[in-house]
């Protein structure tokens, strides 16, 4: 499939020139093309932020909801229509900050969705405040003397908390990112891709060069099925590993759900069993 | 005594009041008695005082009364707990150790008898036996009920329960014979086949009838019962029933579910709804259907978790930042709880707006026998269109209601919480902004054409008009019918927003207007004034966490007449 099928034609894009988000847009289009998934077959669910605008810039079904709330609708969309490929895509502030509780519990539920987090270590849209992943010492108009909070470690949290696919990528390497995104979408279950994205306007600390200098790929011999090992690697901080940290085969939210136990018809196609309802009401006469 | 009896059971949480209530109400119904029950309980799992009122009558009653004809006490302090409702005519039944000092009572040794049979646990059954005899139940009905209820537990348990019931029954017969208690309640053979359900089940059944196949919620009294009802029937009806991590997630899930083609609902109380408010606004902007059951309880904040109030009407009305249409419904009977919940799904889907069902603890927890809930003959209408390549989610159409497609078809379905153009893409074009605001608000016209009219009860040439909404309906109705004023009528609103245009006409025709609400500021009165310009002459308000009783309303309606 040619990734041009996702092109929107001439549109006004709200991203700064040089922003890492362009690379991500490219990588996502490339991924969907390589996986042969046309625009009608998938939904991108996003929150609010610069990252969250991505679906406006490629042909797709999309649900651009509220700040922090990409994951709950994505979960519901997938279980309503399991034939759709569902991607939740938003910023680090959106998913890890405002939406932190959903992030924690969705991975326990294990819906078959892919969560792509544009991790620029800053709040872009609101002009440069610290995000949960900002490094200590990072100065902003709010964190005037630099961030004093420990950075959130999404990879370690996800591994510890039951995510069934955990990966980190950096858009400084587009082909490498596409490879990871493909595996994430193909994984059946909750997939997290924490995706490093330089914000050229508000983050002068974590630049393209910084991401290149401070990351490396997990070696080819690395086995992503060992949870303890994965956790160890997730805690590395001097240089941040990229690649697939952890994979686990587990039943998905959709597969486990009672609603699909007796009937595989997707929810959106279902009718009410009026006969059963009558029977239920009648049974209450005897109860 | 009379043909309308109020029996109250009082004890501590976990003592078996619920068992007695369950057995007695079922046995009464199976024997052909009209029965009503409501409970009053504290927010704790053990201890304290809980009570249940069971009203048995020759007529089909659905309202809470204050008076207690028979009080069964299961714990010392129970009579004092209810002292405002106990008077000389109240017959107190119980063991001496459970009766507070200074009250006349009839000693019935429930526990002693139970122990003789083999276990204290049978004391509940003894009590059911005594009460059954007093009311006039055929012992065979009681026997048959116990047989069926305990059949799974084996013959010994069945026999002992029947023995316990029999011993209790004999005591009851004795009391009647000695003339200590006189009851003459007529049976109605039709009642045997009635339904005996509570408000939570009526809402749950209404949701299923409305095509609900997705519920995401976070537990909160008084609405948890609706979540558990749908969870209990999830497998049978293919419903996704998910306990979300918080109410914010619950509402955002529900909206996502509608987007992809589910019919979704959330159920919560005021405190949870406060967290869901962003979802109201999201539904307003992306024009998503949404059904919310808002079970009101006394607030602010955590308030009185297990009590009742109609305090969230204006909160619900103004919930969600920005301007967009919404619909508020307020059932007053079990039948309305069923039909309105069903209707909520129709409204939400047809107009692409959020619909809130304003229930409350009183409605959700009370129950009585009703003859039927009519299951629709045809499938609930789905207002979803097939999309084509050129599909635009927010196509500007005459009535503002753009055809709603779901993802998976030929076209792309794009929705955005930012202001958007017809295709759903983000825009800051101010002309489009104006068009979209107007489009969203235009939906009000279509909504107004289908407002459920208020129910008018009483003489056409009324002089005094009493207005109420939601769960107070049965008490107001019974009070107005018994106040002894031939020129008094009652107007009951089950849709409280938008308000039916007839409201003004009804209000204008009255010489005196009285509003009755379970809140402190007459929220519906304020809303009616806003919509019609007409004020009320008298406001009867109650906000101590308890429902109105019929007697209280009668006396307050008489005041100043
Ligand atoms: C409830 C709510 N709070 C705050 C905001 C303002 N807001 C919009 S985006 C954003 C943070 C954006 O940061 P991030 O999610 O990292 O996305 P980025 O712009 O960096 O891609 C904030 C605070 C909002 N839209 N909604
Ligand atoms: S502010 Fe940063 S993240 Fe946003 S578009 Fe500009 S460079 Fe990209
Ligand atoms: Mg960011």
Question: Is the same domain home to B358 and B394?
Answer: no
B-chain residues near A66 (CB < 8 A): 252, 278-279, 282, 417
- The beta-strand segments (E) located in B182-237 are 195-198, 214-217
Q: Is the pLDDT of residue B46 over 90?
A: no
Check whether residue B468 and residue B424 sit in a common domain: no
CA-CA distance, B282 to B416, in Å (whole number)? 9
Q: Tens-of-pLDDT digits for all 287 residues of chain A?
A: 999 999 999 999 999 999 999 999 999 999 999 999 999 999 999 999 999 999 999 999 999 999 999 999 999 999 999 999 999 999 999 999 999 999 999 999 999 999 999 999 999 999 999 999 999 999 999 999 999 999 999 999 999 999 999 999 999 999 999 999 999 999 999 999 999 999 999 999 999 999 999 999 999 999 999 999 999 999 999 999 999 999 999 999 999 999 999 899 999 999 999 999 999 999 999 88
Radius of gyration of chain A (CA): 20
On whether residue B476 sits in a domain, the answer given is yes
A20, A23, A67, A95: which to mutate for ligand 1, most atoms within 8 A of CB? A67
Residue B362, SS3 per DSSP: helix
Ligand nearest to the CA of A22: 2
Q: Quick check: is B43 in a domain?
A: yes
Distance CA B291, CA B316 (A): 13
Other Cβ atoms less than 10 A from the Cβ of B217: the count is: 30
Which phi and psi angles does A170 have, rounded to 5°? -135, 130
Residue B377 lies in a domain: no
Residue B45 has pLDDT above 80, yes or no: no
Question: In this prediction, does ipTM exceed 0.95?
Answer: yes
| Same domain (yes/no): B92, B69 | yes
Cis peptide leading into B150, omega within 30 of 0?
no
Q: Is residue B256 part of a domain?
A: yes
Give yes or no for residue B1 having a pLDDT over 60: no
Task: Judge whether B378 lies within some domain.
Answer: no
Answer whether residue B329 shows pLDDT above 90.
yes
Residue where a domain stops, chosen among B431, B448, B465: B448
Helix (H) or strand (E) holding A170: strand A165-170
Higher pLDDT: B215 or B47? It is B215
Closest atom of ligand 2 relative to the A200 alpha carbon: 7
Tell me, what CATH number does B548's domain have?
3.40.50.920
- For residues B207 and B347, membership in a common domain is answered with yes
Domains and CATH numbers, chain A: 3-251 (3.40.50.970)
The answer to whether B373 and B205 have CB atoms below 8 angstroms apart is yes
Pick the residue whose CA is nearest to atom 1 on ligand 2: A124
Pairs of residues, one from chain A and one from chain B, whose beta carbons lie less than 8 Å apart: 199
B361 shares its domain with B495: no
Ligand 3 center from residue A118 Cα (angstroms): 6
Rounded to the nearest whole angstrom, what is the distance from the C-alpha of residue A46 to the centroid of ligand 3? 13
How are the residues of chain B apportioned to helix, strand and coil, as percentages rounded to the nearest 5?
Answer: 40, 20, 40
- B245 alpha carbon to ligand 2 midpoint, in Å? 31
Of the residues B148, B164, B191, the one at which a domain ends: B191
Nearest-angstrom CA–CA distance, B443 and B458: 34
Both B219 and B319 in one domain: the answer is: yes
How does pLDDT run across B200-250, given as a tens digit for each residue? Answer: 999 999 999 999 999 999 999 999 999 999 999 999 999 999 999 999 999
- Residue A54 CA: which ligand is closest? 1
CB atoms within 10 A of CB A5: 13
Q: Which domain holds residue B139?
A: 4-191
User: Mean pLDDT over residues B90-117, rounded?
Assistant: 94
CB contact under 8 A, B237 and A287: no
Whether residues B366 and B389 fall in one domain: no
Residues B134-166 have pLDDT tens digits of 999 999 999 999 999 999 999 999 999 999 999
pLDDT of res. B561: 65
> Tokens standing for B327?
């619909």
- Of B124, B131, B114, B123, nearest to B172 (Cα)? B131
Q: In what order do the strands lie in the sheet with B354-360?
A: B240-243, B214-217, B264-269, B290-296, B354-360, B327-329, B495-497
For residue B345, pLDDT beyond 60: yes
pLDDT over threshold 90, residue B463: yes
Same domain, B400 and B477: no
In a domain, B273, yes or no: yes
Task: Using an 8 Å CB-CB cutoff, list chain B residues near A161.
Answer: none
- Residues B44 and B185 reside in one and the same domain: yes
The encoded tokens of residue A277 equal 């309802």
Candidates B376, B372, B379, B404; CA nearest to B391 is: B404
pLDDT beyond 60 at B15: yes
Domain containing residue B94: CATH number: 3.40.920.10
Look up the CATH number of the domain holding residue B229: 3.40.50.970
Q: Are residues B325 and B183 in the same domain?
A: no
- What's the pTM value of the predicted model, to 2 decimals? 0.97
What total number of domains does chain B contain?
4
The closest ligand to the CA of B278 turns out to be 1
- For chain B, the C-alpha Rg in angstroms (whole number) is 26
Final residue before a domain boundary, out of B173, B191, B209:
B191
Calpha distance B348→B292 (Å, rounded): 10
| Whether residue B430 is found in the same domain as residue B501 | no
Distance from CA of B326 to the nearest CA of A (A): 19
Q: To which H or E segment does residue B242 belong?
A: strand B240-243
DSSP state string for B123-163: HHHHHHHHHHHHHT--HHHHHHHHHHHHGGG-HHHHHHHHH
User: What mean pLDDT do residues B289-293 have?
Assistant: 99
Strand order across the beta sheet in which A61-64 lies: A215-217, A240-247, A165-170, A191-196, A113-119, A85-91, A42-46, A61-64, B414-416
Q: Which residues are CB-contacts of A224 (< 8 A; sequence separation ≥ 6)? A: A230, A244, A245, A246, A247
Taking chain B, what is the end-to-end CA distance rounded to the nearest angstrom? 30
**Beta-strand runs (E) in B430-541:** 455-457, 464-469, 488-493, 495-497, 512-517, 538-541
Does residue B376 sit within a domain? no
Evaluated on CA atoms B245, B249, B251, B257, the torsion sign reads negative
Q: Which pLDDT tens digit goes with each residue over B348-407?
A: 999 999 999 999 999 999 999 999 999 999 999 999 999 999 999 999 999 999 999 999
Ligand 2 atom with the shortest distance to the CA of A21: 8
Res B507 pLDDT > 60: yes
Chain B neighbors of A40, CB-CB under 8 A: 407-412
Query: Which of A6, A94, A268, A277 to mutate to test binding with chain B, by most B CBs within 10 Å of its CB?
Result: A268
Q: Which residues contact B83 (CB under 8 A, 6 or more apart)?
A: none
Whether residues B289 and B329 share a domain: the answer is yes
The pair of three-digit structure tokens given for residue B262, joined into one six-digit string: 């589910």
Answer yes or no: is B375 within a domain.
no
For ligand 2, atom 4, the nearest C-alpha belongs to: A124
User: Under a CB-based contact definition with an 8 Å cutoff, are residues B342 and B210 in contact?
Assistant: yes
Measure CB to CB from residue B195 to each of A39, A63, A285 and give the nearest one.
Answer: A285
State the DSSP H helix or E strand holding residue B240, giving kind and residue range, or none if neither. Answer: strand B240-243
């Amino acid at each position: 499939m040619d990734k041009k099928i996702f092109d929107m034609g001439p549109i006004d894009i709200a991203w700064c020139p040089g922003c890492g988000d362009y690379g991500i847009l490219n990588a996502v289009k490339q991924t969907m093309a390589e996986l042969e998934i046309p625009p009608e077959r998938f939904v991108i669910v996003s929150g609010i932020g610069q990252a969250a605008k991505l679906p406006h810039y490629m042909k797709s079904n999309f649900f651009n909801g509220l700040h922090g709330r990409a994951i709950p609708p994505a979960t519901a969309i997938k279980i309503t229509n399991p034939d759709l490929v569902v991607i939740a895509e938003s910023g680090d502030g959106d998913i890890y900050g405002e939406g932190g509780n959903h992030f924690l519990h969705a991975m326990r539920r294990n819906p078959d969705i892919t969560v792509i987090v544009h991790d620029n270590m800053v709040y872009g849209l609101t002009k440069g405040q610290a995000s949960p992943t900002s490094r200590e010492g990072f100065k902003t108009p709010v964190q005037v003397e630099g961030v004093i909070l420990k950075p959130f470690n999404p990879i370690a949290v996800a591994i510890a908390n039951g995510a069934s696919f955990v990966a980190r990528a950096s858009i400084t390497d587009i082909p490498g990112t596409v490879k990871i995104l493909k595996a994430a979408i193909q994984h059946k279950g909750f997939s997290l891709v924490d995706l490093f994205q330089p914000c050229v306007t508000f983050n002068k600390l974590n630049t393209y060069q910084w991401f290149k200098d401070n990351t490396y790929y997990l070696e080819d011999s690395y086995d992503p099925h060992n949870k303890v090992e994965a956790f160890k690697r997730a805690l590395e901080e001097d240089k941040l590993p990229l690649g697939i940290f952890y994979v686990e085969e587990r039943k998905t939210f959709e597969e486990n759900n009672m609603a699909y136990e007796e009937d595989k018809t997707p929810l959106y196609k279902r009718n009410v069993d009026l006969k059963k309802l009558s029977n239920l009401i009648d049974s209450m006469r005897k109860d | 005594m009379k043909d309308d009896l109020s029996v109250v059971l009082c004890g501590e949480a976990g003592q078996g009041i619920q068992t007695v209530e369950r057995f007695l109400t079922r046995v009464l119904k199976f024997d052909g008695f009209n029965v009503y029950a409501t409970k009053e309980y504290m927010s704790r799992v053990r201890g304290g005082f809980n009570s249940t009122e069971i009203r048995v009558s020759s007529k089909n009653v659905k309202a809470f009364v204050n008076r207690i004809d028979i009080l069964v006490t299961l714990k010392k302090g129970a009579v004092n707990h209810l002292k405002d409702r106990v008077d000389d005519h109240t017959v107190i039944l119980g063991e001496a150790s459970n009766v507070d000092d200074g009250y006349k009572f009839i000693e019935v040794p429930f526990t002693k008898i139970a122990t003789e049979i083999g276990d204290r646990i049978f004391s509940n059954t003894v009590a059911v036996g005594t009460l059954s005899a007093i009311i006039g139940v055929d012992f065979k009905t009681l026997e048959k009920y116990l047989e069926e209820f305990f059949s799974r537990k084996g013959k010994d348990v069945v026999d002992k329960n029947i023995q316990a019931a029999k011993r209790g029954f004999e005591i009851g017969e004795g009391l009647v014979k000695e003339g200590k208690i006189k009851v003459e309640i007529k049976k109605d053979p039709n009642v045997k086949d009635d339904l005996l359900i509570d408000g939570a089940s009526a809402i749950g059944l209404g949701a299923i009838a409305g095509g609900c196949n997705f519920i995401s919620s976070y537990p909160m009294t008084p609405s948890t019962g609706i979540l558990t009802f749908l969870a209990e029937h999830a497998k049978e009806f293919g419903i996704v029933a998910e306990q979300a991590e918080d109410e914010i997630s619950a509402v955002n899930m529900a909206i996502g579910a509608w987007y992809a083609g589910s019919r979704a609902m959330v159920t919560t109380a005021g405190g949870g709804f406060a967290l869901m408010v962003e979802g109201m606004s999201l539904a307003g902007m992306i024009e998503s259907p949404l059904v919310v059951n808002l079970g009101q309880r006394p607030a602010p904040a955590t308030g009185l978790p297990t009590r009742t109030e109609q305090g969230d009407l204006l909160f619900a009305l103004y919930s969600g930042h920005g301007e967009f249409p919404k619909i508020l419904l307020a059932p007053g009977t079990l039948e309305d709880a069923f039909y309105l919940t069903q209707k909520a799904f129709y409204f939400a889907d047809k107009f692409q707006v959020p619909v809130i069902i304003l229930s409350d603890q009183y409605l959700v927890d009370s129950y009585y026998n009703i003859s039927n809930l009519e299951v629709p003959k045809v499938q609930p209408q789905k207002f979803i269109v097939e999309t084509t390549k050129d599909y635009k989610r927010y196509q500007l159409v005459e009535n503002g209601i753009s055809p709603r497609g779901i993802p998976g078809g030929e076209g792309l379905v794009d929705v955005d919480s930012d202001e958007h153009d017809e295709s759903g893409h983000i825009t800051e074009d101010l002309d489009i902004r104006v068009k979209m605001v107007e489009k969203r608000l235009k939906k009000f016209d279509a909504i107004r054409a289908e407002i459920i009219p208020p129910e008018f009860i009483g003489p056409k040439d009324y002089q005094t008009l009493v207005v109420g909404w939601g769960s107070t309906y049965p008490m107001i109705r019974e009070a107005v019918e018994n106040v002894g004023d031939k020129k008094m009528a009652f107007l009951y609103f089950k849709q409280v927003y938008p308000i039916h245009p007839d409201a003004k006409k009804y209000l204008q025709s009255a010489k005196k207007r009285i509003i009755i609400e379970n809140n402190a500021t007459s929220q519906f009165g304020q809303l009616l004034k806003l919509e019609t310009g007409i004020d009320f002459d008298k406001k009867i308000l109650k906000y101590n966490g308890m429902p109105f009783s019929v007697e209280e309303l009668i006396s307050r309606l008489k005041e100043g007449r």
